[in-house]
Amino acid sequence: MATLNPARGRFRPPVRGRRFRFPARRREASGGPDSVRAALAPLLAAHRAAYPGAGEAELLHGYEVAERLHRGQLRKSGAPYITHPLAVALILAGMGLDTTTLVAALLHDTVEDTPYTLGELRAEFGEEVAVLVDGVTKLDGERWGDRAEAETFRKIVLAAAADLRVLVIKLADRLHNLRTLGFQPPHKRARIAKASHELLVPFAERLGIHVLKREMDDLAFAARLPEQHAATREAVRQALREADRAFAPATALIGAALAEHGVAARVRIRPSHLYAVHQSFGGDLAGLRPCEAARLLLMVDGAERDCYIALGAVHAALHPVAGQVRDFIAMPKDNMYRSLHTRVISPDGDPFEVIIRTEAMHPVAEHGIVAHIRDAGDDASTAVAGRRDLLWLSRLLAWQSDAPSAEFLDRLRTDLAAGNVAAFTTDGDIVALPAGATALDFAYALNPRTGDRCIGAVVNGRLAPMSVQVRSGNVVEILTDPAGAPSEDWLGIAVTVTARVHIQQRLTLRRAEEAADAGRRRLVRALAGRDVDLLTAEAHGDSLSVARELGYAEINEMYAALSDGSLALDDLLARFVRP
């Protein structure tokens, strides 16, 4: 399993006392320092808000280079191309990303879309910026052909294993492209929106960056299903017009109960994003009520334990819906999201959701891994190395090298499907799985060797077959047999990509071994009638020589070809029995 150790340090400016100059062949007039500073003003302001003492030189230099290299290039909207990397950097600055990340965002398309080389960028901006830019640079479509998209995503995944900021830059890049998607032709809009929903939005979810996920969801929804999006937007707009009035009685009761229990908290209405409403109600939006278009968010000013006191206060004020309490504080989601969720009945009889979290939990709930990177300062590796919310990335890295380009994206889509099952080993370790996953998937999530030898499970102390579905909270022990091995039937049981890839590998290997064995037995019989001993020929290297003459790297490949009929027996005999 790959070890996650994202590298991150501060951008190092040119050595003091040496004034940087562009190489002669690149030097030309830019817009002047005043125009550069004016264009960069929003970015500088956003960055200073997160890093009050941050310098401006690095960002100014990155912008000047990017603007010069992209000069003359236009977006589909007709706007100068530099507006795109500048917008990407501004999105990242709004989340509090560091200077190095912002410089890489400004330069992220230079290697892909201009004559600027990665080597030149490395020499000018340093290794760290070069790694980030290289990670998000698409592979050449002319060189890679139909494999370009799949291999580009594989490249991003591998780069993210070294530095997660690569993936964060890619998400911000896609968000701005979705914001400007209306300038693309219809067929391209649909393709980009579909890929966003299937690949980029799940990455944002896995990293817990919900501020990006929600907007990307809604923008892709608008591009893919414009009529449904418009209907949902209007229904939500109408419902939210009544939200203050509809929630007022419940808010008053909750506020009084919180004061009675001695909990300080802010209570506010939290609208659901449009795609979430669409997924919940589909086209049935007639008479959408405020409690269906929004939730209440309680921001507790206190410690973690105060969230549970607040939960008791809410349930004392309003009748709770049985079985609808979800404790993501004691058992965080696999992206480390932490909050309490409950459903209660309003005084008017409408059920609605209440989310409870502390002020300290809120940045992680909104920005996910970005909050951890930001809080780690110069030592960001401690923010991500060994985190269990990144085990999904380790598992993805474990199978990606065995997936051919033609299958990689389909497997990636499956692997990124929302995982909302959190089961436990007998040692108390959490194993995150997608809905519908089985005990066999659980076994492979532990490690491939356990999966290959799985013969059953003990779930919550009871014997269960490999096909049993694992549910959140289950304690699962895997039963194994040293002689156990995957069978074709297992592909009908396994749900996760990790399990299916390993099963298919083992089955393919076994079929190849069986074919080679069958071909060898056939050749042994044929040679025996000609007084040739195959074992002796193998010992002397004659079999390998014949295999190489026929274009096979190994003798087993030759034997398998004999078995499946792609190699004629007479042709092979002629090489063993020479006149």
Would you name the residues annotated as active-site residues? Answer: 112-113
Q: Take residue 512 and report the two structure tokens written for it.
A: 């190849």
Reference 445, options 398, 509, 510, 504; nearest CA is 398
Rounded to the nearest angstrom, the gap between the alpha carbon of residue 196 and the centroid of all alpha carbons in its chain is 11
Q: How far apart are CA 383 and CA 120, in angstroms?
A: 31
**Residue written as token pair 């032709």:** 185
Distance CA 78, CA 147 (A): 30
Q: How many CB atoms lie within 10 A of CB 89?
A: 31
| Residues 4, 384 contacting (CB under 8 angstroms) | yes
Q: How far is CA 176 from CA 90, 196, 224, 225, 579, in A?
A: 10, 12, 17, 19, 73
Measured in residues, the chain has a length of 579
Amino acid (one-letter) located at 202:
P
Reference 451, options 402, 488, 485, 415; nearest CA is 485
Beta-bridge mates of residue 438 = 469
Question: Which residues, other chains included, contact 313 with Cβ-Cβ below 8 Å and sequence gap of 6+?
Answer: 254, 257, 258, 260, 261, 263
User: CA-CA distances (angstroms) from residue 496 to 251, 296, 415, 500, 556?
Assistant: 43, 35, 7, 6, 31
Identity of the amino acid at 80: P
Between the CA of residue 548 and those of 377, 391, 535, 542, 554, what are the distances in Å?
Answer: 57, 43, 18, 10, 7
DSSP annotation of 461 reads T
* CA distance linking residue 199 with residue 201, whole number of Å: 6
Query: % helix / strand / coil in the chain, to the nearest 5?
Result: 60, 10, 30
Name the maximum alpha-carbon separation found in the chain: 103
Burial grade of 74 (CB within 10 A; 0-12, 13-18, 19 or more)? exposed
The alpha carbon dihedral of 316, 320, 325, 328 has a sign of: negative
Strands (E), 324-461: 326-327, 340-345, 351-358, 421-424, 430-433, 454-459
C-alpha–C-alpha distance, residues 297 and 373, integer Å: 25
HEC letters along 307-348:
HHHHHHHHHHHCEECCCCCEECCCCCCCCCCCCEEEEEECCC
Residue with the two structure tokens 């058992």? 331
